[in-house]
Structure 1
């Protein structure tokens, strides 16, 4: 039921109003007395919010409804409205035909482990704690959530800039408040017709000149697919390259992800951006939480300053959980999820955009910063299949006797002297994700071909029709 990032899938198949109703019932029955609810721009969002809210209320939970807002706004608002949990109706970077639900704890982290299993078990068993007719929960509107989100981002980043500028201030602001700081950057923000348009507001408050692309909310995503990849963000790349912009920002549908384009119009690899954020956040002796599919370039970058990584399963909830350890000061995923646990345990695309702008204003052009990250040949691809878990299991059986160093904490990872490859089932889409990395291109390509060959062989073995 739950993948790496909540519940997601095609509307009318995996995700239905009945499922949303049951999720609401289960969350309330697990003890959440007040729940914050929001949604992204998808066309099916309002109906699912209504069903979710009905389930919450008939099991006694009060609902604070935020309407259409970014996912990190919902996660942050759990604390703002003194709630016990939050639920976002979103499929994040998935296609417009999908939707889903993502659950948030009272400290802004995604449900994982026992919290997630408690909800799933109740739904499987149909075990809900219904209340009497006169004990139904109330439904109220939280009207200032976007404003509070922008203010929180601006205040945090402005304070950091003032504390760290030490003569490197490009904008010349002198105050400690957000409105007194001038980062002095030109930024292009591609909201992808999702909920991330508040990023433009935050950056303007920080003294940036901002041009927007696809800022009109439209859950059919007419401007580009929701996932902010290099291919999908070609318009952003062209606009940045053709202007004097210092950088470009791209979000997915619910703005929990943030990807970046440098001033030359080059789309930064997720691992490079992760290394830049990690190096800026960590000091000697501290750790950064990253998923198992992260490039060793991040390890190398951190080793240079005496810091290190700690690996988790893929999924921002697992990364956030690791940041509860006292020496873990930052967490991130190459896909574009970035977590500063002292501010929020939810990946916050608006916060990440403002943090990146502050970093560029303080340390110089993004292309030069990226050039300072020593990259390692790495390649990723996705293989479509409706039998993703069976394919991964088949690969695990094949590699068990062929390689000495096999890890199955999340999919199948094989480490050899030259490098490593990972085969894992996507937690959000009908895909098997393949990653390979090695010290030189030829060895990386060899590992990549081995991994993709194993996946294709497994796909034919477990679902012959998929290869027709």
Structure 2
């Protein structure tokens, strides 16, 4: 049986893969495992704007209250707000209903523990075991049945926290916000307006039919046009649950997570606030980020793909910043998960404090061309690519050809019968040819 939890909670097409029945069972089992069987656990729920959110929240809440939990409903609010508020309110757990950057028809459920951290595999396995084995759980009656309280202060408490993460106002900055019709629309417009910025809005109200459609961090084309056409200083694109951010400079060019980490890592080092002089990235980050950080005397630690692995490395070794090219960036001195609003504030603060244009600041890093090709293979063989001598020999040959100015990364898909081939280097035409040849060889040898 396939594992229920993926790299970021339980996700699928709402009402097909992620059904109300499954949401109910996740609520029961999650409350039981995360609250250590306490008699009246308190659990915060937040969600994005998806149409299926009401349905799943009703089912999830029924599961939580059926085992005696008190549910605090924070409404439509960013994922990182749930992580922060769970700690602030000293609750037993937090739950988010969102499929992040995924299309409208998808949804997901992810849990945070009492300290605001996503769950490790072993805790998710306990929840999954209870569901799979249909384990008996407490079924309180009468006054012991759980209840729901609507939070009146969640949005304001989170906004005040966000303001505390920077040391200046944003007067004089013209900022375009693309809220993806999602969770950031309840927070970001208020936040940047109250900090004094001249704000232009796009996708700035919750709309479950439009979330992530031609907008947001995965679709910033309209944002680029607005920034370039209005003479704005910067544009910020959040995804559906606002845990990731992509910026756009004053010329309308995209500034991705790698560039943001380069800028912020160098800035933190200059102020003596870069813990252990290290930035944590994944193996998919551009080689240009490695070069930029090393040129500035900053060490780089790499993890598997996934912000949860970045976070684990940061917590384990006490690092202060890490993230992914996609814009999942964690400032661990402030929050326990990727936070798009904090990332946007840090970029805006850097613009104010430096007096420079974003195009100049992001120029500390030069992105190398990347080519990604999927090789279709037999699912049972997708982890065997390095066992084949011909494949290993070809990878070594390609890396020698690039003479330290490029790399080859091979990664089996977690969900599909694919091996992902990524080649990175200075010459676009050359790396495209390399990637195609290697993918063809992998398909031949693993089929």
With normalisation by structure 1, the TM-score equals 0.83
2:207 matched residue in structure 1: 218
Q: Distance in 1 between matches of 2:394 and 2:105?
A: 37
Within 5 Å, give how 1:56-95 maps onto structure 2: 56-95=64-103
Does the aligned pair in 1 maintain the 2:43–2:93 contact within 8 Å? yes
Counterparts in 2 of 1:79 and 1:454: CA distance versus 1, 3 Å = farther
2:306 to 271, 293, 315: 315
Q: Which residue is 1:464 aligned to?
A: none
1:26 aligned counterpart, secondary structure: helix
Residue of structure 1 equivalent to 2:361: 369
Give 1:227-306 correspondences, 5 Å limit: 228-229=217-218, 232-282=219-269, 283=274, 285-306=276-297
Q: List gaps (5 residues or longer) in structure 2.
A: 36-40
- Pair 1:4-2:7 in alignment: yes
Contact map agreement 1:302 1:309 (CA 8 A) in 2: yes
SS in 1 for 2:117: coil
Q: C-alpha separation between the residues in 2 aligned to 1:431 and 1:151? A: 45
Q: Tell me the distance in 2 between the aligned counterparts of 1:195 and 1:424.
A: 32
Deviation at 1:432, TM superposition (A): 6.9
Identify unmatched segments of 5+ residues in structure 1.
162-180, 408-412, 462-468
Q: 1:34 to 1:211 in 2, by over 3 A?
A: same
Quote the residue 2:175 is aligned against: 187
2:117 paired residue number: 109
Contact in 1 for aligned 2:257/2:323 (Cα 8 Å): no
The reply to whether residue 153 of structure 1 matches residue 136 of structure 2 is no
CA distance in structure 1 between the aligned counterparts of 2:173 and 2:238, rounded to whole angstroms: 19
User: Aligned pair in 2 of structure 1 residues 113, 286: CA closer, same or farther (>3 Å)?
Assistant: farther
Aligned residues: 426
Structure 2 residue aligned with 1:335, among 326, 348, 364? Answer: 326
Given that 1:21 and 1:52 are in contact with CA atoms closer than 8 Å, whether structure 2 keeps it comes out as yes
CA RMSD, 1 decimal: 2.9
Q: Report the secondary structure of 2:164's partner residue.
A: helix
Alignment check: 8 A CA contact 2:225 2:252 kept: yes
Q: Could you tell me whether the CA contact under 8 Å between 2:176 and 2:236 is conserved in 1?
A: yes
SS at match of 1:249: strand
Moved more, 311-320 or 436-445: 436-445
Contact kept in structure 1, 2:227 and 2:234, CA below 8 Å? yes
> Residues of 1 paired with 2:178 and 2:293: CA distance?
30
Q: Does 1:205 align with 2:214?
A: no
Q: For residue 38 of structure 2, what is the aligned residue in structure 1?
A: none
Tell me how far 1:55 sits from its aligned partner.
1.0
Q: Aligned with 1:72: secondary structure? A: helix
